[in-house]
Amino acid sequence: MTTVDDKSVVKEYFNATGFDRWRRIYGDGEVNKVQLDIRIGHQQTIDTVLDWLKADDNLNHLTICDAGCGVGSLSIPLAEAGAKVEASDISEKMVGEAKERAESETLKGSLNLSVQDLESLRGQYHTVICLDVLIHYPQNQADAMISHLCSLSESRVILSFAPKTCFYSLLKKIGSLFPGPSKTTRAYLHKEADVIAILEKNGFQIQRQAMTKTRFYFSRILEATRSAS
Ligand code: SAM
């Protein structure tokens, strides 16, 4: 599959069945058991990143790029906590939902939401974050995406991805990972060593790491900062 194919399939999915599915998972309404498990796991990933950033106690001074922001699960609480957030997503439906969820006077001026694929993002941000997006792309495309995200970052990159281990590869093969009728996009696992190698090649070093693991949701979270030159 070419780059264009993967990206357009993902974009189409998140503007159609994927939008309905993920808007529900990332919401608080009724969902089935599997979706509830994924909702809980995803919230743990969001909470881990929020805890890291709040612990540094400098959110008021940070510009943050949230690439592939979905419905704003991270962008909205970050802006509420005082950061200046540029959030974007390839899916206009996801961005539309994020805008509805961010409908609040207090966020005006601190949260900007736009429809953009992360490869076309420009500018410089203190921190660049990309959660649970790389799963939609094979390693060679993920490499280019991570390098691009690094080029946008003055200081720090935070990524999450589904780790490629023997165990998760087997789960994926037998179909119990990412279950449900609307799993119409391919799910790619990434070797942690490959992700770290790309970050290091771009001048970043791992600082904090975490793993979220529920029954159906697996996400490795890495924080990397620019090495002193
Ligand atoms: N990061 C959000 C979160 O954790 O709540 C959303 C995660 S959701 C599983 C993946 C999101 O990535 C979708 O909203 C999708 O539209 C977006 N996406 C996929 N490929 C993208 C790309 N190339 N550029 C920007 N967004 C992309």
| Residues making up the chain, counted from first to last | 229
Q: Whose CA is nearest to atom 19 of ligand 1?
A: 133
Residue 118's alpha-carbon distances to 6, 65, 150, in angstroms, are 14, 10, 12
Percentages (nearest 5) of helix, strand, coil residues in the chain: 45, 25, 30
* Ordered domains of the chain (ranges, CATH): 3-226 (3.40.50.150)
Is the shortest distance between the CB of 14 and ligand 1 below 6 Å? yes
pLDDT digits (tens, 9 = 90+) for 80-119: 999 999 999 999 999 999 999 998 777 878 999 999 999 9
Beta-strand pair 218-226/204-213: antiparallel
- Region for 72 from its dihedrals, namely left if φ exceeds 0, alpha if ψ lies in -120 to 50, beta otherwise: left
Tokens, residue 89 = 């997503």
Residue 26's alpha-carbon distances to 8, 66, 72, 86, 139, in angstroms, are 22, 16, 9, 20, 26
Ligand 1 centroid to residue 173 C-alpha, Å:
23
Ligand 1 centroid to residue 228 C-alpha, Å:
30
pLDDT digits (tens, 9 = 90+) for 106-160: 787 899 999 999 999 999 999 999 999 999 999 999 999 999 999 999 999 999 9
pLDDT digits (tens, 9 = 90+) for 53-79: 999 999 999 999 999 999 999 999 999
To test ligand 1's pocket by mutation, which of 25, 90, 220 has the most ligand atoms within 8 angstroms of CB?
90
For 79, which DSSP code?
H
Give the model's confidence band at 165: pLDDT under 50 very low, under 70 low, under 90 confident, else very high: confident
Ligand 1 centroid to residue 229 C-alpha, Å:
32
- Within 13 Å and on the Cβ side, how many CA atoms surround 62? 26
CA 41/CA 134 separation, integer angstroms: 17
Residue whose entry in the numeric block shows the structure tokens 């771009």? 202
Look up the pTM and report it.
0.93
What is the overall mean pLDDT for the chain?
91
Q: Which DSSP string corresponds to 93-143? A: HHHHHHHHHT--GGGTTTEEEEE--GGG--S-EEEEEE-S-GGGS-HHHHH
